[in-house]
Amino acid sequence: MTNHILLIDDDVDFVEMNKTFLETKGYTVDTAYNGTEGVERVKESAPNLIVLDVMMDQVGEGFEVARTLKQDEQYKHIPIIMLTSVNKEHGFDLTVGADEQWNPVDCFLEKPLSPQDLLAKVREFLSE
């Protein structure tokens, strides 16, 4: 079985770099550049794992995507790794984690994140 990952992030460089890197490791990778497109891709292809940015077209858009998917019986089983650079870019000291109501994700990581660190988390969630 091929492991299928969906990257949802408005940072084109981040998406393209990590897509290429993960494909060299044998993964099938789809991309989306905003939340609406991301939800559509999930419905089209049902990935095994989602890597999701917090801030895209709208502040907190990633939270809305995660809640939408986790409330849907068909997709709630798909693990979500959420990424953000809000602390680094905006100087906040914000500690955000996963919770069932506000941020129903499986893992929350800070950017910048190296492709190798992302790969380690991907392998962890895909039980490799």
Q: Quickly list DSSP for the chain.
A: ---EEEEE-S-HHHHHHHHHHHHHTT-EEEEESSHHHHHHHHHHH--SEEEEES-SSSTTHHHHHHHHHHTSTTTTTS-EEEEE-HHHHH---------SSS---SEEEESS--HHHHHHHHHHHTT-
Asked whether residue 89 carries a pLDDT value surpassing 70, the answer given is no
Q: Report pTM.
A: 0.87
Please give the average per-residue pLDDT across 88-116, as a whole number: 68
Per-residue pLDDT band at 29 (split at 50, 70, 90) = very high
Q: Worst-scoring range by mean pLDDT, 57-66, 97-106, 109-118?
A: 97-106
Higher-pLDDT residue of 37 and 55 is 37
